[in-house]
Structure 1
Amino acid sequence: MAHDAHDDKNNSVFKITLNLVVTCFISGIIIATAFAITEPVAAEQRVKAKNDAMKELVKDAETFKAIDGKEGWYAALKGGKVIAYVVPANSKGYGGNIEMLAAVTPEGKTMDFKVLKHNETPGLGDKMVEPKFRNQFANKDPKDLEVVKVPTDKNIQALTGATITSRAVTKGVKEAVEAVAAYSATQKK
């Protein structure tokens, strides 16, 4: 029987295909196993980071309790009483979305905020995380959360060279404060 070169070619294509299938299958198992091991750790880290951020925003809080029906909202409790709400705040800045957590009193005044993620310009917009800018927000009513270029005692002075970022942060925090004020009004008996 004559040896057919065509059979050899088919045979080698089959072997290559089989090797690729086996390699992909093994790779898939390795990736799935790695994800199964690392994802719970990563999830735990995210929870810890959020808890640390909330504790930083409301230092007096003893515990934080998730609020039913309000995704990402937490009540900060001390002695069983709500002393603040910590809620997500988002706004579109110069470099894209700015993700924050805002701490708000039950009376609907700003306490503080923490930036979780941003793409603002280094040396300009990223100064929104510094105390000099952040401290302006403490104890403000929503109506006073307005960005101004000339300093006032009431409003938020824009960061030099980063008015868009300043407005974005202020808008995000203001919306969070207004949402908490509306929610808080429904909780009072």
Structure 2
Amino acid sequence: MAHDAHAHDDKNNSVLKIALNLAITCFFSGVIIAGAYAITEPAAAAQRVKAKNDAMKELVKDAETFKAIDGKEGWYQAIKGGNVVAYIVPASGKGYAGKIEMLAAVTTDGKAMDFKVLKHAETPGLGDKMVEPKFRKQFTDKEPKDMVVVKVPTDKNIQALTGATITSRAVTNGIKEAVEAVAAYSASQKK
């Protein structure tokens, strides 16, 4: 009888050892993962900030600095010689294959300058042509009232990308809303 009790204790001990080893392994794995995150996350965050700064610099080439606007998430003033020369604001539209996320550069008097697409899932060879200069430059110096998508080219409006009218409208509406928001903000600052 004593022998059976001893075997039972050994079995319990080995289960306990396995459980303990697992717990220790899990703990150290957690420490390693947390440590790796603590090291890589600041670098990733810094990379995201750099990517955003590069995008803003690309949109307003002559700006010296970019200053975040209090109370307006993702909004920046582009500053040159101590003066605000443009605003950079987030913009988005619902494209053919989902949300299109952009950054829009807007003049202080409420006209579009340029935009940069940050994220999209539009059709390669069709909708993704929205990133090309030929399409983007149609927005330069346009007021919201002229941001209308047309299929037949005009000097005044935005000509749709061939085979991608939904994408063209999504981008145009997103930029138009961003320009209108900046115009309203700019007017409120002058009061």
The equivalent residue for 2:124 is 122
What is the aligned counterpart of 2:98 among 96, 99, 113? 96
| Residue type of the alignment partner of 1:154 | K
| Residue type of the alignment partner of 1:2 | H
Unaligned runs of 5+ in 1: none
Instruction: Tell me how far 1:164 sits from its aligned partner.
Output: 1.0
The equivalent residue for 2:136 is 134
Cα RMSD of the aligned pairs, angstroms, is: 1.1
Instruction: Tell me how far 1:60 sits from its aligned partner.
Output: 1.1
TM-score, length-scaled by structure 2: 0.95
Instruction: Tell me how far 1:30 sits from its aligned partner.
Output: 0.4
Post-superposition Cα deviations, 1:2-52, rounded to whole Å, max 9, x if no partner, equal 144433333332222212211111110001000100111111111111011
What is the aligned counterpart of 1:149 among 141, 148, 151? 151
The equivalent residue for 2:59 is 57
**Counterparts of 1:111 and 1:160 in 2: how far apart (Å)?**
23
| Residue type of the alignment partner of 2:15 | V
Aligned residues: 189
**Counterparts of 2:11 and 2:163 in 1: how far apart (Å)?**
67
What is the aligned counterpart of 1:66 among 64, 68, 79? 68
Matches within 5 A, 1:98-113: 98-113=100-115
Percent of aligned pairs with the same amino acid: 81
**Counterparts of 2:115 and 2:102 in 1: how far apart (Å)?**
7
**Counterparts of 1:164 and 1:17 in 2: how far apart (Å)?**
57
TM-score, length-scaled by structure 1: 0.96
| Residue type of the alignment partner of 1:180 | V
Q: Secondary structure at the match of 1:2?
A: helix
Q: Secondary structure at the match of 2:163?
A: coil
Instruction: Tell me how far 1:188 sits from its aligned partner.
Output: 1.6
Unaligned runs of 5+ in 2: none
**Counterparts of 2:10 and 2:152 in 1: how far apart (Å)?**
82
Instruction: Tell me how far 1:123 sits from its aligned partner.
Output: 1.0
| Residue type of the alignment partner of 1:60 | D
Please tell me whether residue 37 in structure 1 is matched to residue 39 in structure 2. Answer: yes
The equivalent residue for 1:13 is 15
| Residue type of the alignment partner of 1:41 | A
| Residue type of the alignment partner of 1:103 | A
